[in-house]
Amino acid sequence: MWNRSSKPKRSPRPKRKQREKRYTLEIDGLSVEVVRKDIKNLYLRLQPPDGAVRASVPWRLGDEAVRQMVNARAEWIREHQERFAQRPSRPVTECRSGEIHAFEGRGHRLEVVEIAGRSRVQVGYGDGVITMTVGLGTSRATREAALERWYRRELAQRIPRLVVHWEPILGVSVAEWRIRKMKTRWGTCNTQVRRIWLGLELMKRTPACLEYVVVHEMVHLLERSHNARFWGLMDTFLPDWREQKAALSRPLAEGLDSGAQMSTCSEEADEGEETSREPEPQRGQRSLWV
């Protein structure tokens, strides 16, 4: 029988339609980032690099539900946060000669050549060397920016070739692709406007990994969710996708900054935003559903 008094307390709904609302709750000494959005279930996620707790919460649930969930999972959270703490942090790079930087899945030695004139970055193919030619006394920030521009340029050359190759095979058309410096995703796909976003870090990974992410995002144009049909399509078009997916979840090599803590894509979200439906465990993250 319906008992009005036992009806769960609803959180106030926003007056206007809102995609999401974020705020922080302190629960038993833990800072929990709450993200309210249009989802069915409450779930917790520990985010890299330090295992910060994020709760994705449907509008219908109150903060009390978040507190209960966090309290009930306190041990799980502590355990995994300790694991995050044990992970090696990303190596600090100064963009100086002798440093090893990942490019196309392997380490390349950086050689910085200082000359009078404008900064530019060149890569030495085949001999495992990235040669950066910069103006005398160029700052670290400028060198970093130049290296990043170069990664971006290299990636921008590869993406259209892959998209054009795969469009007729998959029978889809990509309206637009963009590169973005993403911290937690390798790629995302906005299926409504048929736009795919690819993480700049992909340039550090093997060509096969890059192709996997491009195909993965393009397959979302056929199937939005990471459901059985989606992975079935991946099996059909790119049978070795599991290998690349696994490779992306592993660091390239000890001490190599290769975006190893990034996770799989989120379908339908744009601009690197997290998806708001059918949450799934992401690589590099620990997720828990209720």
Considering only the stretches 44-52, 132-140, 260-268, 277-285, report the one whose residues sit in contact with Zn ion under the rule CB under 5 A: 260-268
Nearer Cβ to Zn ion (179/234): 234
Considering only the stretches 13-21, 195-203, 237-245, 257-265, report the one whose residues sit in contact with Zn ion under the rule CB under 5 A: 257-265
Considering only the stretches 71-79, 82-90, 108-116, 258-266, report the one whose residues sit in contact with Zn ion under the rule CB under 5 A: 258-266
Residue selected from 61, 65, 182, 265 as contacting Zn ion according to rule CB under 5 A: 265
Give dist(CA 81, CA 88) in Å, integer: 13
Name the minimum Å distance from CB 226 to Zn ion: 5
Nearer Cβ to Zn ion (11/282): 282
For residue 31, the tally of other CB atoms under 10 A from its CB is: 10
Considering only the stretches 77-85, 115-123, 195-203, 263-271, report the one whose residues sit in contact with Zn ion under the rule CB under 5 A: 263-271
Nearer Cβ to Zn ion (233/265): 265
Considering only the stretches 10-18, 137-145, 243-251, 262-270, report the one whose residues sit in contact with Zn ion under the rule CB under 5 A: 262-270
- In the sheet that 129-135 helps form, which strands lie side by side, from edge to edge? 100-103, 106-115, 129-135, 120-124
Residue selected from 267, 268, 284, 286 as contacting Zn ion according to rule CB under 5 A: 267
Closest residue (Cβ) to Zn ion? 265
Close Cβ partners of 228 (under 8 Å, ≥ 6 residues apart):
none
Q: Kindly list the distances between the CA atom of residue 17 and the CA atoms of 13, 43, 193, 277, in Å, as whole numbers in the listed order.
A: 9, 22, 21, 17
Name the minimum Å distance from CB 246 to Zn ion: 15
Considering only the stretches 24-32, 80-88, 196-204, 261-269, report the one whose residues sit in contact with Zn ion under the rule CB under 5 A: 261-269
Name the minimum Å distance from CB 220 to Zn ion: 6
Name the minimum Å distance from CB 126 to Zn ion: 34
Nearer Cβ to Zn ion (61/265): 265
Name the minimum Å distance from CB 287 to Zn ion: 15
Contact between 268 and Zn ion by CB under 5 A: the answer reads no
Close Cβ partners of 95 (under 8 Å, ≥ 6 residues apart):
110, 112, 132, 140, 143, 144, 147
Name the minimum Å distance from CB 202 to Zn ion: 14
Cis? peptide before 58, omega within 30° of 0: no
Name the minimum Å distance from CB 207 to Zn ion: 20
Name the minimum Å distance from CB 19 to Zn ion: 19
Q: How many residues bind Zn ion (CB under 5 A)?
A: 2
Binding site for Zn ion (CB under 5 A): 265, 267
